[in-house]
Structure 1
Amino acid sequence: MITAENIKTTIESSLPCEHVQVEGDDGRHFSALIVSAEFNGKNTVQQHQLVYKSLGDKMKQEVHALSMRTLTPEQWGQES
C-alpha cells in the first residue's frame, strides 16, 4: 500500500519543489500542497500535469484520488 510519504518522496525526486505536503491515511485517497518554481508561467492544469507526470504509473495503479493545490513560491510567500 502506498503512503503519503511515498507520494511526497516521489514528487520531490522528479520535480524541484520548495515545499511538498501530502496527507491521506487510507492508502488510496490523498491531498497535496506542492510549491515549485516549475509552476511559474503555467496555468493550474499544466501545473497538475507536471505533478501527475512526476508520479507516473503510481497514478494509474496505486493512487485512486489525489486532490492537489499547486502554488509558485511567490504565491506561497503571499499566503504565509
Structure 2
Amino acid sequence: MSIQSDIEEKLLAQLSVEHLEVVNESHMHNVPANSETHFKVTAISNDFNGKRSVARHQMIYKVVAEELAGPVHALALHTYTPDEWQQREALAPESPDCLGGSKADR
C-alpha cells in the first residue's frame, strides 16, 4: 500500500471528515522519481469547530505520527470547518513551487 493511502485511511478512521484530499506533491521537489515524501492534506471536519489552526494541525500530526517519523518529509495542512470551507468556495490554496535545490547545485 502507498504512503498516501495509509495517510488517507488513518485520517478517515480517526477524524470525522466531510471532505479529505491527500495529494502527493513529491514530484514538485528535488527527490527521486516516484517518491512519497511531500504531501498536501485538505481536511474539512466539524472536529475542528472552536479550534485554532495549531490545534487542528496537532490533531492531524497525532494521527500520522508514524509517517512523519519515517518517510514523510513535509506535510502541508489545510484544515477547515464545513462553514469555513464553504466560505472559501471549496478551494484549498495552491502549493508554491519548491525553492529548494540539491546540494550539488550549490
State the TM-score bracket (shorter-chain normalisation): 0.7 to 0.9
In structure 2, runs of 5+ residues without a counterpart are 27-34, 90-106
Corresponding position: 1:31 with 2:40: yes
Corresponding position: 1:41 with 2:26: no
| TM-superposed deviation, 1:30 | 0.6
Q: Are 1:2 and 1:63, in contact at CA under 8 Å, matched by a contact in 2?
A: no
Q: TM-score by structure 2 length?
A: 0.68
**Does 1 or 2 have the higher relative contact order (CA < 8 Å, sep 6+)?**
1
3-state SS of paired residue (2:77): strand
3-state SS of paired residue (2:8): helix
Residues in 1 aligned to 2:18 and 2:71: alpha-carbon distance in whole angstroms: 25
Q: Are 2:3 and 2:67, in contact at CA under 8 Å, matched by a contact in 1?
A: no
The 5 A counterparts of 1:56-71 are 56-71=65-80
For 2:44, give the aligned amino acid. Answer: V
Q: Are 1:2 and 1:62, in contact at CA under 8 Å, matched by a contact in 2?
A: no
Q: TM-score by structure 1 length?
A: 0.88
Moved over 4 A (4+): none
3-state SS of paired residue (1:18): strand
3-state SS of paired residue (2:17): coil
Counterpart of 2:20? 20
| TM-superposed deviation, 1:64 | 1.1
- Count of aligned pairs between the two proteins: 80
Pick the structure with more helix per residue: 1
